[in-house]
Amino acid sequence: MTADQGRPRSARTRPRGTQRTRLNLQVTLPAGDGAVRLARRVTRDVLARWRLAHVEETAILLVSELVTNAVRHARNTYAIGLDLEIGETWLRIEVQDADPRWPQPRTPGRFDESGFGLVLVDALAGKWGVRETATGKAVWAELDTRHRDEPATWAGRAAGMMCL
């Protein structure tokens, strides 16, 4: 987990002719029983529109875990924000709530029935973290959106990284 070492929220400049559109969807969900179901439906719909079906299952699982954590653990939260954003090779999922307390990752015991959410987030996301907001916190996770057969960037290959 990182303390907001994610991508900056400002626009990036690129050489002429290489500009790609960044897409973003922001949804406010009620902090209640239907929040997770609605978040999954919205995520599924927007990923289909953005032609990211190849990351749909993982993204929906991450959205489910992050929204569930906000519903179950965030105090004084009446609404939850879900922000989906795509860049050139990544999808960022962010869930905001009004509780300033950061999540406390733990290793669940062998027979525990809960406590696996952040373990899953850590295992599935390329990176994830938490940042403070004016009204509480935001927990975010990023996925690599390249298809398995797409080459990694030159910098990634030079660093010995493999494309997922």
pLDDT tens for 3-21 read 544 443 333 334 444 455 6
Which of 29-43, 54-68, 93-107 is predicted least confidently? 93-107
Q: Does residue 96 have a pLDDT over 70?
A: yes
Task: Give the type of residue at 133.
Answer: T
CA angle 62-148-65, nearest 5°? Answer: 5
User: How confident is the model over 68-86, as a mean pLDDT?
Assistant: 91
Domain with 140 in it: what CATH number?
A: 3.30.565.10
Domain assignment present for 14? no
Tokens of 44: 């599924």
Query: Would you say residue 4 lies in a domain?
Result: no
128 within some domain:
yes
Asked if residue 164 is part of any domain, the answer here is: no
Q: Per the domain annotation, does 3 fall within a domain?
A: no
On whether residue 66 sits in a domain, the answer given is yes
Q: What number of other Cβ atoms are within 10 A of residue 132's Cβ? A: 12
In a domain, 130, yes or no: yes
Backbone angles phi, psi at 25, to 5 degrees: -130, 130
Task: Name the percent of the chain lying above pLDDT 90.
Answer: 56
**Single-letter amino acid code for the residue at 29:** L
Alpha-carbon gap, residue 95 to 70, rounded angstroms? 8
Domains in the chain, number: 1
For residue 44, what are the domain limits?
22-158
Predicted local distance difference test score (pLDDT) of residue 49 = 95
CA 58 to chain centre: 10
